Structures are given as structure tokens and as C-alpha cells.
Amino acid sequence: MLAKPDQLPKFICPRTRQPLVQEGGTWRTDNNEHTYKIIDGFPIFVDFESSVLNVQDFESLHVPEVVERRKYGGLMSLAKKLVSPPKSATAANISELMSLLTNKSKEKNPRVLIIGAGSIGQGMQPLYDSSQIEIVAFDVYASKHIQFIADAHSIPFENDAFDAVIIQAVLEHVLEPSKVVSEIYRVLKKKGMVYSETPFLQHVHEGAYDFTRFTESGHRYLFKHFSLIKSGASAGGGTQLIWAIDNFSRGLFRSRIAGKVIKLLFFWLIYLDELIPEKYNVDAASGCYFLGRKSDKEITPKEAIAHYQGAQ
């Protein structure tokens, strides 16, 4: 469940790393050098000078826009489920993470930071339903699922604050993924865990705010300061083929709707992921995942090469 305000770790300035104190409608550093507004109850911990976010977007709106995932009903709901079924890999990985947190953690109520939590990610609902786990969540827009707004390149928390960090479908949308991962490492406690999912063979989504793709091996090396618990394809070759059909069709017919309709005709390809051996899915993955633990040892380039789990 979402942590209450008094359960949050101490906030720090995203620019200077100094502690922040709340005063009225702002958070500020002790010397008043930097201040951060609270808008409609959401603190805005963003260094706008170095972020792709614009301060005008918040000032002109007065209140950050609340964004929710579109909800469907009737036949549209059925179509959505056919072309975007729950990922079995994600469900299994989140279950394992929760088990490690609640059964083996020394903390009574382990604290989990979710980056990019404006909407609840696929397979993440069990975390929010758990009374044993305290969730701290942020995104670059406001919603009922977060407590503050921030840029993941500079997480506004002190060191060693969390037992786990989850970053699902976010790293492709940041300019410097390695910097974000470094921040994740910093805010994790000793032997804290990270769970990440990123796309590999997916077309551009979120327009101008889509920057990077990772192979399974590249994704693992991105987390080179973490020991491996498990990694692999979060969605395989059938899923990535659906992406290709959708985007090919919308380009051919100059129509987003055409892409969605033709994609629906081939929805069954997604379910063939389960028939493809993991090593082949790794080479043709729509996306990949990494579950690891904070480590004092960095894996070497040779170890990264040896990690390869594909079929070639």
C-alpha cells in the first residue's frame, strides 16, 4: 500500500543533495538557496535547469494534469485483453520479489520505491494490495498513485533509503539510463533489490520522449553494479511481431486506427510466446527484465559477454 506522509524517507534537494524542510507551500534547503513548490498537494522536486521537464508546464496549468490509463468496456475491453494480456513473466517476477522482501527481509515493513508510477503497471497490483509493503511512488505527472513529482535522474531521497526499487517501462524514456540506475543504486540499502523492465524490439512510443532500447545482455550490463537473481525476456517474439504489424499497418494506411484493427486480427501471435523456448525469445524479445541485488562488486565486460542467454 502507498506509504503515509510520515512514513516517507527524508527528502533531499535534487540539485545539491542537502536536506529539505517544509515551510508552508514549499520545500526548501536550510539556506533558502533552492525551493520547490507544492501544487495541489504534490511536491515538485525537479531541477528544471537540467530536466526535459519545463517549469512553465506546471505554472501555467496551476495544477499538474492528472493522467489515467484509458478504461475500456464491452467489446473494446475484450479486444484490449486479447492484444495485451497479462505478462506471466512479470507476475512471476513480482511474486518472487515480494517473497524475498516479506519472507527474508529483516525489515518489518519493507519500503519499495516505484519510479514512473503514475498508473499502476502491468502485474504490479499485488504490491499495492499488500499490507506488509510500504510503497513510495513518483512520476513526472500527478495521479492518485503517487506522492510527489520528480525526475528519475535525480531522486530526491537520502542514501540507503529503500529495500527495493521497481522501474517498469521507464528507462527507454530517460535521456541517461545509466545515471538513473546510479541513482537507484544510491537510494537502495545494502543488498537492496531492483526490478526493471525495458523494451528491446518495440517501435517508438511516447513520441519525442522515447530514446533507448536494450538487448537482454545490454540490460543486464546496465545494472552492472548489481548481482543477478534472474533475468530474461518479459515478452517474446510473438509480442514483438504484433508491435511490428501494428506499426507497419498504421504507416501503410496512414492511420493509427488501421494499425489497431489489423493488430487485433493477429492477436493470437502473442500467445505463441509460450511455445517459443526462452533462449529464442531472448533474441527476439519485445522486452526484457532484470531482477538483481545491490552489490559491492561490478561485473566485468567479459562477464557481460558470458551472460548471453540467447540461441546464437
Task: Please write the tens of the pLDDT for every residue from 95-126.
Answer: 999 999 998 656 678 999 999 999 999 999 99
* Residue 206 burial by Cβ neighbours in a 10 Å radius (0-12, 13-18, 19+): exposed
Per-residue model confidence as pLDDT tens digits over 239-294? 999 999 999 999 999 999 999 999 999 999 999 999 999 999 999 999 999 999 99
**Which cell numbers in the block locate residue 269?**
501471435
> What's the rounded mean pLDDT across residues 75-89?
74
- φ/ψ of 196, rounded to 5, equals -130, 145
208 Rama sector, left if φ>0, alpha if ψ -120 to 50, beta otherwise: alpha
Which superfamily is assigned to 1-72+86-236+288-312 in CATH?
Vaccinia Virus protein VP39 (3.40.50.150)
Q: Which residue blocks in 62-147 are alpha helix, DSSP H?
A: 74-83, 88-104, 125-129
- Cβ atoms of residues 165 and 188 within 8 Å: yes
The whole-angstrom distance between residue 271's C-alpha and the CA centroid of its chain comes to 24
Amino acid letter for position 72? Y
| Cα-only R_g, the chain | 20
Residue bearing the bigger pLDDT, 69 or 272:
272
Element (H or E) spanning 137, and its range?
strand 134-139
Residue keyed to cell 533531499: 12
Quote the pLDDT of residue 61.
46
What pLDDT is recorded for position 287?
A: 97
pLDDT digits (tens, 9 = 90+) for 7-62: 999 999 999 999 999 998 899 999 889 999 998 889 999 999 989 888 877 765 44
pLDDT digits (tens, 9 = 90+) for 183-217: 999 999 999 999 999 999 999 999 999 999 999 99
pTM of the model: 0.93
CA dihedral 218, 221, 227, 230 (to 10 degrees): 0
Q: Per-domain residue ranges for the chain?
A: 1-72+86-236+288-312
pLDDT at 235 > cutoff 90: yes
CA–CA distance, 168 with 125 (Å, rounded to integer): 13
CA dist 143 to 33, 50, 111, 119, 236, Å?
A: 29, 24, 20, 7, 31
Res 54: pLDDT = 86
State the pLDDT at residue 71: 58
